[in-house]
Protein backbone atom coordinates (compact mmCIF):
# COMPACT_ATOMS: atom_id res chain seq x y z
CA UNK A 1 0.00 0.00 0.00
CA UNK A 2 2.90 2.35 0.72
CA UNK A 3 2.92 5.11 -1.89
CA UNK A 4 6.66 5.82 -1.80
CA UNK A 5 8.85 3.17 -0.27
CA UNK A 6 12.58 3.30 0.22
CA UNK A 7 15.01 0.76 1.59
CA UNK A 8 16.84 0.37 3.82
CA UNK A 9 15.48 2.52 6.62
CA UNK A 10 18.81 2.54 8.44
CA UNK A 11 22.28 2.15 6.98
CA UNK A 12 25.48 2.16 8.98
CA UNK A 13 28.69 1.78 7.02
CA UNK A 14 32.37 2.56 7.08
CA UNK A 15 34.11 5.37 5.26
CA UNK A 16 35.18 4.44 1.78
CA UNK A 17 32.41 1.90 1.21
CA UNK A 18 29.91 1.99 -1.65
CA UNK A 19 26.20 1.73 -0.85
CA UNK A 20 22.83 1.99 -2.55
CA UNK A 21 19.41 3.16 -1.44
CA UNK A 22 16.36 1.99 -3.36
CA UNK A 23 13.13 3.85 -3.95
CA UNK A 24 9.88 2.83 -5.55
CA UNK A 25 6.59 4.67 -5.99
CA UNK A 26 3.24 3.16 -6.93
CA UNK A 27 1.41 6.44 -7.51
CA UNK A 28 1.99 6.55 -11.24
CA UNK A 29 3.90 9.83 -10.89
CA UNK A 30 6.24 10.93 -13.63
CA UNK A 31 8.79 12.74 -11.44
CA UNK A 32 10.94 11.41 -8.63
CA UNK A 33 13.44 13.13 -6.37
CA UNK A 34 16.17 12.58 -3.86
CA UNK A 35 16.50 14.99 -0.95
CA UNK A 36 19.19 15.14 1.73
CA UNK A 37 18.26 16.28 5.23
CA UNK A 38 21.21 17.15 7.44
CA UNK A 39 21.39 17.28 11.22
CA UNK A 40 19.92 20.79 11.20
CA UNK A 41 16.88 19.44 9.35
CA UNK A 42 17.60 21.41 6.17
CA UNK A 43 15.99 19.68 3.18
CA UNK A 44 18.14 20.03 0.06
CA UNK A 45 17.19 18.65 -3.29
CA UNK A 46 19.85 16.44 -4.86
CA UNK A 47 18.30 15.04 -7.99
CA UNK A 48 15.08 15.14 -9.89
CA UNK A 49 14.04 12.66 -12.57
CA UNK A 50 11.16 13.20 -14.94
CA UNK A 51 10.19 10.22 -17.06
CA UNK A 52 13.60 8.68 -16.54
CA UNK A 53 15.49 11.83 -17.53
CA UNK A 54 17.62 13.78 -15.08
CA UNK A 55 16.35 17.34 -14.99
CA UNK A 56 18.31 18.89 -12.13
CA UNK A 57 21.46 18.08 -10.20
CA UNK A 58 22.11 20.51 -7.38
CA UNK A 59 25.92 20.54 -7.23
CA UNK A 60 26.02 17.08 -5.73
CA UNK A 61 29.43 15.35 -5.74
CA UNK A 62 29.75 12.86 -8.55
CA UNK A 63 30.20 10.12 -5.94
CA UNK A 64 26.40 10.20 -5.89
CA UNK A 65 24.78 8.64 -8.92
CA UNK A 66 21.03 8.26 -9.35
CA UNK A 67 19.72 5.40 -11.45
CA UNK A 68 16.20 5.25 -12.78
CA UNK A 69 15.43 1.94 -14.51
CA UNK A 70 11.82 3.06 -15.05
CA UNK A 71 9.63 5.92 -13.91
CA UNK A 72 8.50 4.04 -10.79
CA UNK A 73 12.01 3.59 -9.45
CA UNK A 74 14.82 5.96 -8.57
CA UNK A 75 17.79 4.43 -6.79
CA UNK A 76 20.72 6.30 -5.29
CA UNK A 77 24.20 4.86 -5.40
CA UNK A 78 26.97 6.41 -3.35
CA UNK A 79 30.64 5.65 -3.91
CA UNK A 80 33.50 6.15 -1.46
CA UNK A 81 31.33 7.25 1.42
CA UNK A 82 32.58 10.11 3.59
CA UNK A 83 31.69 11.15 7.14
CA UNK A 84 29.89 14.22 5.79
CA UNK A 85 27.49 12.01 3.86
CA UNK A 86 25.81 11.06 7.13
CA UNK A 87 22.24 12.36 6.89
CA UNK A 88 18.69 11.27 6.24
CA UNK A 89 17.97 10.76 2.56
CA UNK A 90 14.39 11.10 1.38
CA UNK A 91 12.96 9.88 -1.86
CA UNK A 92 9.86 11.68 -3.13
CA UNK A 93 7.60 11.70 -6.16
CA UNK A 94 5.10 14.03 -7.76
CA UNK A 95 3.18 14.49 -10.96
CA UNK A 96 4.16 17.46 -13.09
CA UNK A 97 1.30 19.80 -13.67
CA UNK A 98 -0.86 22.18 -11.69
CA UNK A 99 -0.99 20.17 -8.46
CA UNK A 100 2.61 19.30 -7.71
CA UNK A 101 2.22 17.87 -4.23
CA UNK A 102 5.24 15.74 -3.35
CA UNK A 103 4.89 12.43 -1.56
CA UNK A 104 7.88 11.44 0.54
CA UNK A 105 9.24 8.06 1.50
CA UNK A 106 10.01 7.21 5.12
CA UNK A 107 13.64 8.19 4.75
CA UNK A 108 16.94 6.34 5.02
CA UNK A 109 19.18 7.32 7.91
CA UNK A 110 22.74 6.89 6.67
CA UNK A 111 25.53 6.89 9.23
CA UNK A 112 29.10 6.77 8.03
CA UNK A 113 31.65 5.77 10.67
CA UNK B 1 20.31 31.62 -6.98
CA UNK B 2 16.70 31.22 -5.98
CA UNK B 3 16.17 31.17 -2.23
CA UNK B 4 13.25 30.41 0.03
CA UNK B 5 13.76 31.79 3.51
CA UNK B 6 11.75 30.87 6.54
CA UNK B 7 11.57 32.37 10.02
CA UNK B 8 11.77 31.72 12.85
CA UNK B 9 14.01 28.67 12.86
CA UNK B 10 12.66 27.56 16.25
CA UNK B 11 9.56 28.42 18.22
CA UNK B 12 8.69 27.23 21.71
CA UNK B 13 5.14 27.87 22.86
CA UNK B 14 2.89 26.96 25.73
CA UNK B 15 -0.04 24.80 24.76
CA UNK B 16 -2.93 27.05 23.83
CA UNK B 17 -0.76 29.86 22.50
CA UNK B 18 -0.77 30.83 18.83
CA UNK B 19 2.11 30.18 16.43
CA UNK B 20 3.11 31.73 13.11
CA UNK B 21 5.87 30.89 10.66
CA UNK B 22 6.80 33.13 7.73
CA UNK B 23 8.18 32.25 4.35
CA UNK B 24 9.83 34.59 1.85
CA UNK B 25 11.00 33.85 -1.65
CA UNK B 26 13.63 35.74 -3.61
CA UNK B 27 11.51 35.23 -6.74
CA UNK B 28 7.81 35.32 -7.56
CA UNK B 29 6.27 31.90 -7.11
CA UNK B 30 3.56 30.29 -9.20
CA UNK B 31 2.46 28.45 -6.08
CA UNK B 32 3.62 27.70 -2.57
CA UNK B 33 3.25 24.51 -0.60
CA UNK B 34 3.44 23.75 3.10
CA UNK B 35 4.63 20.51 4.65
CA UNK B 36 4.79 19.19 8.19
CA UNK B 37 7.44 16.79 9.44
CA UNK B 38 6.85 15.13 12.79
CA UNK B 39 9.92 14.19 14.85
CA UNK B 40 11.46 11.09 13.30
CA UNK B 41 9.04 11.22 10.40
CA UNK B 42 8.97 12.39 6.82
CA UNK B 43 7.55 15.59 5.32
CA UNK B 44 3.81 15.38 4.71
CA UNK B 45 1.97 17.75 2.39
CA UNK B 46 -0.46 20.12 4.09
CA UNK B 47 -1.66 22.53 1.44
CA UNK B 48 -0.91 24.37 -1.79
CA UNK B 49 -1.70 28.04 -2.43
CA UNK B 50 -1.85 29.33 -5.98
CA UNK B 51 -3.65 32.66 -6.16
CA UNK B 52 -2.33 36.04 -5.12
CA UNK B 53 -3.68 36.95 -1.67
CA UNK B 54 -5.18 33.50 -1.19
CA UNK B 55 -6.15 32.42 2.31
CA UNK B 56 -7.00 28.83 3.18
CA UNK B 57 -7.97 27.26 6.47
CA UNK B 58 -7.64 23.76 7.81
CA UNK B 59 -9.25 23.66 11.26
CA UNK B 60 -6.84 25.64 13.47
CA UNK B 61 -4.33 26.23 10.64
CA UNK B 62 -4.55 29.33 8.42
CA UNK B 63 -2.38 29.64 5.34
CA UNK B 64 -1.84 32.86 3.44
CA UNK B 65 -0.17 33.68 0.13
CA UNK B 66 1.04 37.26 -0.31
CA UNK B 67 -0.31 39.63 -2.92
CA UNK B 68 3.04 39.68 -4.73
CA UNK B 69 3.26 35.87 -4.52
CA UNK B 70 6.66 36.10 -2.86
CA UNK B 71 5.70 35.42 0.73
CA UNK B 72 3.46 33.18 2.73
CA UNK B 73 2.56 32.42 6.30
CA UNK B 74 1.16 29.60 8.37
CA UNK B 75 -0.69 30.47 11.54
CA UNK B 76 -1.82 27.93 14.13
CA UNK B 77 -4.43 29.03 16.63
CA UNK B 78 -4.39 27.57 20.13
CA UNK B 79 -1.54 25.10 19.62
CA UNK B 80 -1.81 21.54 20.86
CA UNK B 81 0.92 19.02 21.58
CA UNK B 82 -0.02 17.24 18.37
CA UNK B 83 1.18 20.30 16.44
CA UNK B 84 4.79 19.54 17.39
CA UNK B 85 7.09 19.17 14.38
CA UNK B 86 8.92 21.11 11.72
CA UNK B 87 6.91 23.13 9.23
CA UNK B 88 8.39 23.72 5.78
CA UNK B 89 7.29 25.97 2.98
CA UNK B 90 8.31 25.03 -0.55
CA UNK B 91 8.14 26.69 -3.92
CA UNK B 92 8.82 25.59 -7.49
CA UNK B 93 12.53 25.54 -8.27
CA UNK B 94 13.51 27.83 -11.12
CA UNK B 95 9.93 28.06 -12.23
CA UNK B 96 9.87 24.34 -13.02
CA UNK B 97 6.63 22.79 -11.97
CA UNK B 98 7.22 19.80 -9.77
CA UNK B 99 10.74 20.61 -8.60
CA UNK B 100 10.49 22.05 -5.12
CA UNK B 101 12.92 24.21 -3.20
CA UNK B 102 12.27 24.07 0.53
CA UNK B 103 12.68 26.70 3.20
CA UNK B 104 14.83 25.70 6.16
CA UNK B 105 11.77 25.00 8.26
CA UNK B 106 10.43 26.19 11.58
CA UNK B 107 10.67 23.70 14.41
CA UNK B 108 7.72 24.03 16.75
CA UNK B 109 7.76 22.66 20.26
CA UNK B 110 4.69 22.85 22.47
CA UNK B 111 4.89 22.69 26.23
CA UNK B 112 1.83 21.08 27.82
Segment 17-76 of chain B within 8 Å of chain A by CB: 31, 33, 35, 37, 41-45, 48, 50
Least confident of A26-30, A37-41, B43-47, B73-77: A37-41
The answer to whether the Cβ–Cβ distance between A40 and B104 falls below 8 Å is yes
Mark A28-57 as b/e (b = at least 16 C-beta within 10 Å): ebbbbbbbbbeeebebbbbbbbbeeeebbe
The CATH number assigned to the domain holding A90 equals 2.60.40.10
Chain A contact for B85 (CB, 8 A cutoff): no
Give the model confidence (pLDDT) of A91-113 as tens digits. 999 987 756 789 999 999 999 99
Residue A84 belongs to domain spanning: 4-112
The answer to whether the Cβ–Cβ distance between B101 and A45 falls below 8 Å is yes
Chain B contact for A10 (CB, 8 A cutoff): no
Closest-CA distance of chain B to residue A34, Å: 11
Of A40, A55, A102, the CB nearest to B45: A102
The total domain count for chain A is: 1
Residue B102, C-beta contacts closer than 8 angstroms, at least 6 positions apart: A35, A42, A43, A44, A45, B4, B35, B88, B89, B90
For residue B25, report the phi and psi dihedrals to the nearest 5 degrees: -110, 145
Count, residues in chain A: 113
Give the model confidence (pLDDT) of A30-89 as tens digits. 889 999 999 888 898 898 888 767 876 767 899 999 999 888 999 999 999 999 999 999
Name the DSSP letter for residue B9.
S
Domains parsed from chain B with CATH numbers? 4-111 (2.60.40.10)
Amino acid sequence: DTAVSQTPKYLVTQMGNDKSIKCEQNLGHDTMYWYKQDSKKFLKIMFSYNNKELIINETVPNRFSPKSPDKAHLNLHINSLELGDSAVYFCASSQLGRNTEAFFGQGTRLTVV
Amino acid sequence: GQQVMQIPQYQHVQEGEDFTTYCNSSTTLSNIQWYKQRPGGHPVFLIQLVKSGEVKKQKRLTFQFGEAKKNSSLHITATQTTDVGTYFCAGPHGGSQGNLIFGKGTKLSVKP
